[in-house]
Amino acid sequence: MEFEVNNLLPPYLYDDMLSLAKRLNMAPFRGKTVIITGAAHTLGIYLSCALLINNDLNNAGTKVIAVDTNDKIFARYGKLTYRGDIDFVVSRDYSYFGADTADFIIHTQSFDELESFGATVNLFNFIESNGTKALIAADADIYGDVYNGKSKISESDAYGYSDFSKKDGFSVQTERMVQSLAVKLTREKGLDIKLAVMSELYGAGTKRYHEIFRNVQGNRNVVVDQSEKPETVTYIADAAAALFFVLLNGEKGELYNIASDDVLSPVILAEKCSELIYGGELKVIYKNKQASLSFIDSNLRIFDNTKLKNLGFTPEFDLKSGIVRTLNIMSEKGGEA
């Protein structure tokens, strides 16, 4: 068919999304309607396309409603907008929710991009009135600065200190409020809502580390900032798979760190790329003072993924395969993420 996903995406990118669709049990989505918010972002595109690929391969009849605050969503999906099994909505307050029904929602939209309070009310009213199974994902910043002396941040560490002098201080508090309200509604009204906190994502189409990948791909000298601390990272396809998995298998009202075992910083990534791609020949230039790695300081952004693993999820990509796949996809897309 003309508008099948494999005919509209570059091969490496399609293979990435195909592996995501094949590794999961997609049967619960057969004949169902799934809302993906934040659908113009790379993670949202992976989630939506995995469902569309499952339709192409298995005639699953899943209806996808792709939602974002940005009307660039249409350009991001290109000719996929012509398909009959996906609709697109641009909304800042989710007021359209009253006119639709859905069986599942995966919410990845940043609340900083929404008219937060109205959108939150509309979102939860919709979930309650339709009995929708929902997963609400938050940014890693929700943890704030954690001073616990541990080597990793777990879900049981609750929330750390948030600096209200920073421009993102309000959005952090908004996401905390949303998660607290979700737990309250789950316990008091029996709503089926799971919660997730996203570690830093990497891959083609993500902003973090894009400049390093672009320079590596062009075999140019890579300048890295040694002052940036290591952080847990997750390859984009693994993150999308984990969200599907938690939505279907997680406990109601429970929070899960979406995180792999991999840790990156600009220094680590540049050195890994030099080793894996160029046999150590890529020149890495270091600037600024090396970061302190003491856990007495504000915690490194290293996430404990034990709870996700105990649920039964295992990441597919290690750091080597994630880096190689990122560079392959960027190469076929002309170097753009």
Q: Which three-class secondary structure state does DSSP give residue 197?
A: strand
What 84-92 contacts at long range (C-beta under 8 Å, 24+ apart), as own/partner pairs, is 85/52, 85/55, 85/61, 86/48, 86/52, 87/63, 88/39, 89/65, 91/67, 92/119
168 HSE (CA, 13 A, CB side): 15
Tokens 């600096």 correspond to what residue? 163
What does the block give as tokens for 120? Answer: 């939150």
> What is the structure's pLDDT at 335?
42
The per-residue pLDDT string of the chain (337 residues; one tens digit each, 9 = 90 and over) reads 578 999 999 999 999 999 999 999 999 999 999 999 999 999 999 999 999 999 999 999 999 999 999 999 999 999 999 999 999 999 999 988 866 789 999 999 988 888 878 899 999 999 999 999 999 999 888 888 887 778 888 998 867 777 767 666 677 888 888 899 999 999 999 999 999 999 999 999 999 999 889 888 877 778 888 888 899 999 999 999 999 999 999 999 999 999 999 999 999 999 888 888 878 777 888 888 887 777 666 667 899 999 999 999 999 999 999 999 999 999 886 444 4
* Opening angle at CA 320, ends 263 and 207, nearest 5: 60
Answer yes or no: are the C-beta atoms of 244 and 24 closer than 8 Å.
yes
CATH level 3 topology of 5-201+234-260+303-316: Rossmann fold (3.40.50)
Element (DSSP H or E) covering residue 236: helix 236-249
Answer yes or no: are the C-beta atoms of 107 and 135 closer than 8 Å.
yes
> What is the structure's pLDDT at 138?
92
C-alpha 266/C-alpha 236 separation (Å) is 18
C-alpha 203/C-alpha 233 separation (Å) is 10
- pTM as predicted: 0.93
